[in-house]
Amino acid sequence: MERNSNQPLYLRIAERMEAMIDAGSLRAGDRIPSIRHSSVQHQVSIPTVMQAYSVLESRRLIEARPKSGFYVRPRLSKTLRQPVASKRKPSVASLAAFASVLSVIQDVNDPSLVPLGAAVPGDELLPMKKLGQLTSALIRKTKGICLRYDPVPGCLLMRKELSKRSLDWGCGFDAGDFVITLGASEALHLALLAVTRPGDTVLVESPTYYGTLNLLAQLKLKVIAVPASSGDGLDMNAVKEALNTHTVAAMLVIPNFSNPIGSLMPLANRRELLELAEKHGIPIIEDDIYGDLPHEGPRPHCLKSLDQEGRVILCGSFSKTLAPGFRVGYIVAGKFQQRVMELKNAFNLGGPPLPGLTIAEFLRTGGYERHLRRLCHTYRHQVCKMRETVAEAFPEGTKLSNPSGGFVLWLELPRSTDVLAVFREARATGISFAPGPLFSPNGSFKNCMRLSCGSPWTPRIESALGSLAGIVRTLQSTQLT
């Protein structure tokens, strides 16, 4: 290390590293050398390196991760803005047109394609071995229990563990408040059936998860899709106006790390939403499936935690955190619980007990907290990597969400982009993503796409993103000529 500058040594080290980050030699999510390693590398003392890293931390360029070291923080590329909520006034849509776009879901989920489509965790991120061991041990230990019907409300041990966890959600539910469901999907299905009738209108975020739109379509519900931004989520003025001008039977929202836009609804907006629900006498269905996945800090509370009246029906699952294939979800339905239980009992007599018991045991023995810490860091890292790469590769004018949790990104491509054409082309190249129109009841978001960052960051994924950007550029230039 040169020692001929007037700057203190630690500052020179810090600035050299900042230059490397600016130049892209060190990129968001990269691990930087350990303190000990840097000390050797720069031939300076350990306290000097610590001072240098402290500067970088205070400049929000790097961050410490417990037991793992220092990493380059994600930084928005200057060229990428976030998508904003549409200003268009929402109207009631029938979802009849939605069926036509639904056929692409199969491609979104096709496992032979590069997995930027379905919002599923990569196998590598799941505690496969531990869950396998627990399953084997439980089926031996519990004998008959796993073979028997597990009547609604389902697995008591699971409900007890959920009761404990609900403190982290800002709630203090009893085991008796829960009904175990087949993933959050079944929870949403039961919630909607409990509070609506065919022909009713449900208020949702726009864009929102296509599975929800599909469910609404199958239940012959109509929808009013209220614009939401990737920052704060729902445009509250638009919600207010929609409720004043339309008869809405229920609102279905994703306050924590919304799919696909990744928004985190501010507390004030949550309070306002509840007040509006109260004023209009309507229930709120809260999809909290990403709530356990903040990129940093504590888990955000549920909207349900503010609910004094049993007006909010909370739905969640372990499909994004532990094992989609276990199909273990839950619903806290408040005053609709009896109805929800009747419906579930009539529809399938309850689910298989083994997956619930296994996850309960995982939660009980403390593996979940440790697993979640690692998982949230990993998702964050993967989201950072994907953002950086999109920022570099995609055309000027692309907007990109900046989620603080979950693992999906929402891209708004230049207005002229036909994303369904991009989708077909990408599919042919072996790449899958979720095209924007899937997230709209009436084919909006024609120039948008959702990218899943659920899989480990690999050269294959990096190169697929490059190809995707190439396809976008090519189709754009074709259109321009």
Enumerate binding residues for a copy of itself (CB under 8 A).
Answer: 109, 118, 120, 123, 126, 128, 131-132, 135-136, 139-140, 143-151, 182-183, 185-186, 189, 198, 211, 214-215, 217-218, 319, 323-327, 342-343, 345-355
Instruction: Find out whether 335 and 313 touch, Cβ atoms under 8 Å.
Output: no
Provide the minimum distance between the beta carbon of 147 and a copy of itself in the complex, in angstroms, as a whole number: 4
Provide the minimum distance between the beta carbon of 359 and a copy of itself in the complex, in angstroms, as a whole number: 11
Amino acid in the structure at residue 51: Q
Q: Which is nearer to a copy of itself, 277 or 343 (CB)?
A: 343
Q: Which is nearer to a copy of itself, 182 or 332 (CB)?
A: 182
**Element containing residue 64 per DSSP (H, E):** strand 62-65
**Element containing residue 180 per DSSP (H, E):** strand 178-182
Provide the minimum distance between the beta carbon of 285 and a copy of itself in the complex, in angstroms, as a whole number: 15
CA angle in degrees (0–180, nearest 5) for 332-175-338? 50
Q: Which is nearer to a copy of itself, 111 or 298 (CB)?
A: 111
Amino acid in the structure at residue 188: L
370 CB burial (10 A radius; 0-12, 13-18, 19+):
exposed
Provide the minimum distance between the beta carbon of 197 and a copy of itself in the complex, in angstroms, as a whole number: 9
Query: Which of 424, 335, 326 has the alpha carbon at shortest distance from 103?
Result: 424
| Residues 6 or more apart in contact with residue 481 via CB below 8 angstroms | none
Q: Which is nearer to a copy of itself, 14 or 340 (CB)?
A: 340
Q: Which is nearer to a copy of itself, 39 or 135 (CB)?
A: 135
Residue with tokens 């009747």: 342
**400 - beta bridge partners?**
411
Q: Which is nearer to a copy of itself, 102 or 393 (CB)?
A: 102
- Interatomic CA distance for residues 429 and 24, integer angstroms: 28
Q: What are phi and psi of 176, to 5 degrees?
A: -70, -15
426 CB burial (10 A radius; 0-12, 13-18, 19+):
buried
- Interatomic CA distance for residues 275 and 295, integer angstroms: 29
Q: Which is nearer to a copy of itself, 186 or 292 (CB)?
A: 186
Pairing of strands 431-435, 114-116: parallel
User: Which of the 8 DSSP states describes residue 48?
Assistant: H
Q: Which is nearer to a copy of itself, 185 or 417 (CB)?
A: 185
- Cα of first residue to Cα of last residue in the chain, in angstroms, is 54
